[in-house]
Every structure is written in C-alpha cells, then in structure tokens.
C-alpha cells in the first residue's frame, strides 16, 4: 500500500464529491435514455413498467406465508424473465445495447460510491492519485514526457571506442529493463539507478516510468535531489510526519539529479537514512545522476554507495546531448 492515509485525510471530501458528480451524471444520462425510448419506442417502456410492477409483486409475495407461495414466486420469476428477454430483443432489434435502459456504473464493483461495504474500492485509490496530481507541474510535463514520445532516433547506431555497444543498442537494453520493471512492479523489489552524462535521457525516462505508474493508479513521488534534501530538513526540524510518510510509503520515490544537492554531513546522513529505511521496507526507488560510478564513490560515503550499487539495477546512459540535438533541429 502507498501513502494514501495522509492523502485521504486532505482529499476525502473532494473525492466523495467526485463520486457524487459521477452518480449525478450517470443518472442524468439514464433519464435521457429513458425519455428517448419513451418517445421513439413506447412499447419497450411498456415492458419495462410491467417488469417493475412484477418485481414489486415478487418482493411482497416473498414476505407472505401463503399455501402456494413457492409456486406463485416461481411463476412471477418466469414472467419477469420472459419480459426481460422480450425487452432485450426489442432493444437490440432497434439498434440499442441490451443495457441501454439500465443505470450505468463507471465502477461496477462499488457502483460509483467508492466503497464496498466499509472497505475503500480500488477505484478510490485512483481518484486519490488523480486529485493529487491534477494541476501539478509534473502532470503537465507528463503530457509530452511519456513512452509515446520516446525516440530512439536520438541515439546513434555507431559505437564509440569507449563503449562496447552503440548508444542506440544501449538505450534499447535500458528500455527493456524499464519495461520489465513496470511489468513486475507489484511483485518485484527491484530499484533502478540511472547514471551517465547530462542530456542522455535519464530524466525523460524517469518521467515515462512515472506516467505509466500514475495511469495505473500507483502513487509516485518525484523529487530532485535538492528538493528531497529540503524535504528531509523539514521532516527533521519541523517534525513533519505527513511528509515523512509520503516519502517513505509511496509506491515509488524518484530522486532526480543526485549529486546536484548541497553536500554536507547532515544531508548525507539524512539521505542514507531515507534510502536505508525504504530498502528495509522494500519500497521502490528510481535514482538518476549525472555522476559516474567512480564519482559517486568519491562524493558519497561508502554506506550510501553500497546501497546504490548493491540494491539497484545500474543503467549507464551515454551518447550525444539530446537537448542540444533538439535545439539544433528547431533552428533548421
């Protein structure tokens, strides 16, 4: 489970109003469909009314203790079934769906209430995720930063003397790892470490992964390393437990641009504590950095790098700076 309890406290009223709006819209559509059938095919509405009357009679008869109750109930059920079949046949023969005169639900499990008994429906979590990201900078960015717009053409097919494979082959391999990560997200405890030179697609691919998971109803927290350090200070000095729960218990924490944050003993200690806690709780992460593995070793204490190298699948990005390529293509 992700950090929904904290979020639900802040958004429950808004989410319940969304469900209320959904039910109102569906009821309005249902009334419009019924009026349309009444005007064009009154015989179908006539059958619908007969079915309604027989259903009421069935309910009343079930409560009466009469001698022929079981036989009478059986006859009523048969009549209702026959009328329903006739209604369905008439609807279909006139080009309508069999369910045209039924109230439709966008979630059949909870009937658009958000709850199955006292338990929150799975669609409730999706509503929390949608409400949290609506209007956010990240949501806006993901409209373009997604797998539909991921272009392998930006990566040369020609390999350099420094690498054993071409940037394009390398990127195909990283994409395959990312797709596997997404496919096994619910069952695997894999984490990803994206490292390599600037402008080679690390942040873009992180955004692609984020969008895929958000669309499936997962709760993703995305922070640059600098933003993360500010958040960790807020947790430590202001006792911000809500923020702490958000960072630790989210379905996926993405830390972008590791190495750009201000480095101090305190910041390194807080970063280690966060990484370690998430690993112990088997909460997934994607970390990206422009630093090489050698630079990471020099920059961070061994206890941080041992977590990054030992508990993350390392993916090295290399090739031309895509941002420069894009800017040059716009000038042509």
Q: Are 167 and 320 in contact (CB under 8 A)?
A: yes
- The yes-or-no verdict on residue 260 having pLDDT over 70 is yes
- What SS3 state is found at 189? coil
- pLDDT greater than 60 at residue 7: no
pLDDT at 242: 79
Q: What's the rounded mean pLDDT across residues 289-295? A: 95
174 neighbors 193 (Cβ within 8 angstroms): no
The whole-number pLDDT of residue 331 equals: 58
| Residue-level pLDDT at 1 | 45
The predicted pLDDT at position 137 comes to: 75
Smallest CA-to-CA distance from 245 within 3, 4, 8, 9 is with 3
Span 146-159, pLDDT tens digits: 999 998 988 999 88
Angle at 142 between CA 139 and CA 144, to 5 degrees: 135
Distance CA 251, CA 218 (A): 6
Whole-model pTM over 0.95:
no
Q: Is 182 helix (H, G, I), strand (E, B) or coil?
A: helix
Say which range, 180-184, 215-219, 253-257, 260-264, has the weakest mean pLDDT.
Answer: 215-219
Chain segment 59-105, per-residue pLDDT in tens: 999 988 888 889 999 999 999 999 999 999 999 999 999 999 999 99
> Per-residue pLDDT for 175 more than 80?
yes
pLDDT higher than 60, residue 5: no
pLDDT of residue 64: 86
Q: Is the pLDDT of residue 21 over 50?
A: yes
**Percent residues over pLDDT 70 in the chain:** 94
Mean pLDDT of the residues in the chain: 90
| Length of the chain in terms of residues written | 332
* pLDDT tens digits along 212-249: 998 888 888 999 999 999 999 999 999 988 788 889 98
pLDDT band at 327 (very low <50, low <70, confident <90, very high): low
Q: Collapsing DSSP states into helix, strand and coil, what is residue 165?
A: coil
């Amino acid at each position: 489970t992700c950090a929904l309890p904290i979020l639900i406290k802040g958004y429950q009223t808004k989410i319940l109003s969304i469900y209320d709006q959904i039910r109102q819209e569906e009821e309005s559509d249902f009334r419009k469909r019924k009026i349309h059938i009444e005007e064009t095919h009154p015989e179908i509405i006539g059958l619908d009314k007969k079915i309604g009357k027989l259903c009421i009679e069935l309910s009343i008869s079930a409560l009466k203790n009469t001698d022929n109750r079981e036989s009478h109930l059986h006859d009523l059920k048969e009549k209702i079934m026959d009328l329903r079949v006739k209604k369905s046949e008439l609807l279909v023969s006139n080009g309508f769906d069999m369910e045209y005169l039924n109230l439709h639900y966008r979630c059949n499990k909870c009937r658009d209430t958000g709850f199955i008994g006292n338990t929150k429906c799975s669609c409730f979590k999706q509503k929390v995720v949608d409400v949290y990201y609506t209007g956010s900078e990240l949501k806006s960015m993901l409209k373009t930063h997604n797998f539909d717009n991921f272009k392998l053409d930006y990566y040369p097919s020609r390999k350099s003397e420094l690498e054993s494979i071409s940037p394009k082959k390398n990127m195909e391999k990283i994409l395959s790892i990312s797709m596997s990560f997404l496919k096994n997200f619910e069952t695997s405890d894999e984490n990803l470490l994206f490292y390599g030179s600037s402008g080679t697609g690390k942040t873009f691919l992180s955004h692609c992964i984020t969008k895929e998971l958000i669309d499936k109803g997962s709760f993703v927290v995305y922070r640059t390393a600098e933003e993360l350090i500010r958040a960790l200070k807020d947790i430590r000095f202001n006792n911000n437990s809500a923020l702490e729960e958000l960072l630790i218990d989210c379905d996926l924490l993405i830390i972008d641009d590791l190495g750009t944050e201000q480095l101090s003993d305190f910041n390194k200690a807080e970063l280690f504590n966060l990484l370690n806690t998430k690993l112990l709780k088997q909460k997934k992460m994607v970390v990206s950095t422009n630093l090489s593995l050698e630079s990471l070793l020099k920059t961070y204490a061994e206890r941080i790098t041992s977590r990054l190298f030992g508990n993350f699948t390392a993916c090295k990005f290399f090739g031309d700076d895509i941002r420069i390529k894009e800017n040059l293509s716009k000038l042509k």
